[in-house]
Structures are given as structure tokens and as C-alpha cells.
């Protein structure tokens, strides 16, 4: 069990290093800055979704809007991480 935990932690550390390198090369920002901005976008999407529901918007439209906004930074991260592998 301990070995599995250490393998998981090492995998997370390696992924974090990959994100940091990719962000430095492609976007010119650190990986931490990218993660902070990604979380701020997610928080803004949540708040906009709550406001939309409060204002009377159709729940399915709000859900799609929030999902679209949240997937934007995720798609950027996936793209920059796999860009080098594709070339």
C-alpha cells in the first residue's frame, strides 16, 4: 500500500514538472501561475452559473455554459502537454 502511495505521489510530481515545462515553453508563465488562473476561471464559471440560475436561465443552458468554460483551460493544458509528443 505504501509503495502504491509513493508511486502515485511520484506520478503527480512528474506531471506537475511536465505542466511547468510546457507552460514555460508555450505560454511563458509558470505552471503554478497556470494552475492559479485555471482555478480562478473555474471559480468564475461557478459564480456565473449560480448567477444565471438565480436570474432565471434555463438550467441546461447554464450547465452547458459552465462546462464549456471549465473545459477551456483543461483543453489548453492537454494541448500543450501532448504537443511535443505529436511532433
| pTM confidence score | 0.75
Determine if residue 56 is left, alpha or beta; phi over 0 gives left, psi from -120 to 50 gives alpha, anything else beta: left
Residue 78 predicted with pLDDT over 90: no
43 with 78: CB under 8 angstroms?
A: no
How much is the average pLDDT of 65-84?
86
Q: How many domains does the chain divide into?
A: 1
- pLDDT tens for 10-64 read 888 888 888 888 888 888 999 889 899 999 999 999 999 999 999 999 999 999 9
Closest CA to 78 of 11, 12, 8, 23: 23
Domain span at residue 73 reads 2-86
pLDDT of residue 52: 94
- For the chain, what is the radius of gyration of the CA atoms? 17
Amino acid at each position: 500500500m505504501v509503495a502504491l502511495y509513493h508511486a502515485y505521489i511520484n506520478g503527480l510530481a512528474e506531471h506537475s514538472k511536465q505542466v511547468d515545462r510546457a507552460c514555460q515553453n508555450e505560454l511563458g508563465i509558470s505552471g503554478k501561475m497556470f494552475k492559479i488562473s485555471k482555478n480562478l476561471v473555474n471559480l468564475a464559471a461557478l459564480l456565473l452559473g449560480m448567477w444565471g440560475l438565480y436570474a432565471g436561465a434555463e438550467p441546461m443552458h447554464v450547465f452547458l455554459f459552465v462546462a464549456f468554460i471549465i473545459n477551456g483551460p483543461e483543453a489548453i493544458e492537454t494541448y500543450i502537454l501532448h504537443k511535443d509528443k505529436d511532433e
